[in-house]
Structure 1
Amino acid sequence: MTDTAVSLADVELRRPHFQLGPIDLEVPKGYVTAIVGPNGSGKSSTFRLVLDLIKPDKGEINLLGQSTTQEEDWRVKSKVGYLPELFSPHDDKLKASIKTGFVKKWYPEWDVNRYQELLRLFEVDDHIKLGKMSKGMRRKYEFALTLSHHPELLILDEPSSGLDPLAWRTMIEVLHRYMEPGGRTILMASHIVEEVKRLADYIVFMIHGRVLGVYEKDELFGSWHAFYVHGEKVSRKLVQQLPGQCGIEEAGGGMLRVITRQAPDAETWCGQEGITITHRQALQLDDILAILVEQERTRLRS
Structure 2
Amino acid sequence: MFTEETAIEVKGVVQRRKHFQLGPVELAVPKGYVTAIVGPNGSGKSSLFRLLLDLSKPDEGEMTVLGERVGGDDRQLKARIGYVPDQAIDVEDCMRAEEKAAFASLWYPSWELNRYQELLRRFEVDPSIKLGKMSKGMRRKFDIALAMAHNPELLLLDEPSSGLDPIAWKTMIEVLHRYMERGDRTVLMASHIVDEVKRLADYIVFIVHGRVLGMFEKDALLESWYALYIESGSTAGSWKAMPGYREHEQLSGTQVKLVTSDVLEAESWCANQGLRITGRQKLELDDILTVLIEQERRRIHS
What TM-score range do you get, normalising by the shorter chain?
over 0.9
Q: What percentage of residue pairs aligned between the two structures are identical?
A: 58
Give the C-alpha shift of residue 69 in structure 1: 2.4
**In structure 2, which of residues 44, 50, 54 is the aligned counterpart of residue 52 of structure 1?**
54
The amino acid across from 1:158 in the alignment is E
**1:298 is matched with which residue?**
298
Q: Does residue 21 of structure 1 match 2:23? A: yes
Q: Does residue 144 of structure 1 match 2:151? A: no
Q: Once the two structures are superposed, what CA deviation does each residue of 1:210-236 show, in whole Å capped at 9, x if it has no partner?
A: 1110111111112210001127x3543
Contact kept in structure 2, 1:236 and 1:248, CA below 8 Å: no
Contact kept in structure 2, 1:242 and 1:269, CA below 8 Å: yes
Contact kept in structure 2, 1:221 and 1:282, CA below 8 Å: yes
With structure 2 as the length reference, what TM-score do the two structures score?
A: 0.96
Contact kept in structure 2, 1:109 and 1:150, CA below 8 Å: yes
Tell me how many residue pairs correspond in the alignment.
300
Give the C-alpha shift of residue 57 in structure 1: 1.0
The amino acid across from 1:80 in the alignment is I
Q: 1:179-198 to 2 correspondence within 5 Å? A: 179-198=180-199
CA distance in 2: counterparts of 1:24 and 1:240, whole angstroms: 27
CA distance in 1: counterparts of 2:9 and 2:259, whole angstroms: 32
Moved more, 117-126 or 255-264: 255-264
With structure 1 as the length reference, what TM-score do the two structures score?
A: 0.96
Q: Once the two structures are superposed, what CA deviation does each residue of 1:97-124 show, in whole Å capped at 9, x if it has no partner?
A: 0000000110001011111111111111
**In structure 1, which of residues 47, 56, 64 is the aligned counterpart of residue 66 of structure 2?**
64
**1:286 is matched with which residue?**
286
CA distance in 2: counterparts of 1:102 and 1:202, whole angstroms: 34
Identify if the C-alpha distance between structure 1 residues 240 and 8 changes in structure 2 by more than 3 Å, giving closer, same or farther.
closer
CA distance in 2: counterparts of 1:69 and 1:96, whole angstroms: 30
RMSD: 1.3
Give the C-alpha shift of residue 254 in structure 1: 2.3
Runs of 4+ in structure 1 over 4 Å off: none
**1:4 is matched with which residue?**
6
Contact kept in structure 2, 1:234 and 1:275, CA below 8 Å: no
Gaps spanning 5+ residues in structure 1: where? none
SS state of the match for residue 49, structure 2? helix
The amino acid across from 2:225 in the alignment is W
Gaps spanning 5+ residues in structure 2: where? none
